[in-house]
């Protein structure tokens, strides 16, 4: 716990590694997974990634944001636990209304200042911002400076991911019908990223699964080189696609060729159930962010 008594909170869509959450006392508010029979589960609490994948052949559920009550309870619990202020880091406001809801609840908190950060990203790239927020607080970066620094970091952080089937992205309205048809008929695998507004866009197209992973590596390396400073990297794989060792080796090789230093270990994490709803069981993503301490 920081001497500043600043709590860090996030939502499950940021895919922040569980070990880091526990080590740094980061509180997580779960997105919800909803089935047609009326049942609803808190992602990562009432339903695991494995359980969700097992049910996908029968039904692709929908997701919804945490309720205002859940968010308020998390903030109130942080205050009850001795924190005096909070930073709440969310997935892109362009992909979920979570950020907007957190802002509304935060504005109603009395005598408990809350900074709300829109990462304009999703998955482990947003998780890298969560991790940086915790590290900044523990390094005694003043509360009044955290918002500006985390916004700047978010604007330079990128996510790239691809999936073997586009059915789930299509069902959730995340890709157009034209991209879906192109991918289905020609085995084109688009690599998805978030644009400056935090919305999904196609970063590059590859023919076949393995080439799409190579494209992800290349895109990460290209963005890292543009930052002109040491970077932190992260890899996120679903259970059916354990490419961690292979991708880390490729990432380090490409960044070394470009003269880009990698700070610390490459973060590895699995995929939260709420993200699997929109990507399907076969997804691999990567994130890159500047090392804020460099």
Strand 6-11 to 85-90 pairing: parallel
Lowest mean pLDDT among 62-66, 148-152, 169-173, 237-241: 169-173
For residue range 246-294, list pLDDT tens digits in order.
Answer: 999 999 999 999 999 999 999 999 999 999 999 999 999 999 999 999 8
What is each CA distance from 262 to 139, 175, 258, 291, in whole angstroms? Answer: 20, 32, 11, 8
Q: Answer yes or no: is 141 within a domain.
A: yes
For residue range 61-114, list pLDDT tens digits in order.
Answer: 999 999 999 999 999 999 999 999 999 999 999 999 999 999 999 999 999 999
Q: Answer yes or no: is 98 within a domain.
A: yes
For residue range 40-63, list pLDDT tens digits in order.
Answer: 999 999 999 999 999 999 999 999
pTM of the full structure: 0.95
CA–CA separation, 76 vs 286, rounded Å? 33
Cβ 33 vs Cβ 47: under 8 Å: yes
Q: Answer yes or no: is 188 within a domain.
A: no
3-state percent helix, strand, coil for the chain, nearest multiple of 5: 40, 25, 35
Q: Answer yes or no: is 246 within a domain.
A: no
Q: Residue 2: pLDDT band by 50, 70, 90 thresholds?
A: low
CA–CA separation, 122 vs 158, rounded Å? 9
Q: Answer yes or no: is 252 within a domain.
A: no
Angle at 17 between CA 11 and CA 168, to 5 degrees: 65
The secondary structure of residue 43, as a DSSP letter, is B
The secondary structure of residue 1, as a DSSP letter, is -
For residue range 112-141, list pLDDT tens digits in order.
Answer: 999 999 999 999 999 999 999 999 999 999
Domain count, the chain: 1
Domain housing 128:
6-156
Separation of CA 133 from chain center: 14
Cβ 112 vs Cβ 84: under 8 Å: yes
Q: Answer yes or no: is 43 within a domain.
A: yes
CATH of the domain at 85: 3.40.50.10170
Q: Answer yes or no: is 191 within a domain.
A: no
Q: Answer yes or no: is 95 within a domain.
A: yes
């Amino acid at each position: 716990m920081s001497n500043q008594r600043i709590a860090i909170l996030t939502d499950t869509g940021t895919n922040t590694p569980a070990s880091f959450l526990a080590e740094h006392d980061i509180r997580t508010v779960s997105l919800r997974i909803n089935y047609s029979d009326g049942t609803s589960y808190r992602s990562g609490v009432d339903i695991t990634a494995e359980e969700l994948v097992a049910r996908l052949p029968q039904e692709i559920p929908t997701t919804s944001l945490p309720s205002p009550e859940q968010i308020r309870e998390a903030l109130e619990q942080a205050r009850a636990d001795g924190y005096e202020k909070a930073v709440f880091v969310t997935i892109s406001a362009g992909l979920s209304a979570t950020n907007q809801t957190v802002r509304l609840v935060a504005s109603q908190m009395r005598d408990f200042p809350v900074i709300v950060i829109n990462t304009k990203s999703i998955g482990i790239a947003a998780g890298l911002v969560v991790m940086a927020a915790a590290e900044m607080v523990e390094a005694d970066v003043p509360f009044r400076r955290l918002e500006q620094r985390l916004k700047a970091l978010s604007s330079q952080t990128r996510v790239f991911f691809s999936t073997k089937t586009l059915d789930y992205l299509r069902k959730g309205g995340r890709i157009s019908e034209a991209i879906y048809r192109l991918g289905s008929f020609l085995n084109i695998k688009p690599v998805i990223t978030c644009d400056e507004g935090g919305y999904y866009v196609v970063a590059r197209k590859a023919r076949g699964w393995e080439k799409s992973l190579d494209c992800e590596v290349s895109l990460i390396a290209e963005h890292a080189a543009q930052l002109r400073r040491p970077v932190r990297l992260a890899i996120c794989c679903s259970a059916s696609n354990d490419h961690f060792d292979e991708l880390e080796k490729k990432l380090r090789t490409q960044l070394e060729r470009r003269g880009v230093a990698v700070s610390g270990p490459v973060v590895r994490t699995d995929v939260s159930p709420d993200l699997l709803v929109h990507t399907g069981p076969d997804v691999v993503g990567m994130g890159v962010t500047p090392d804020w301490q460099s």
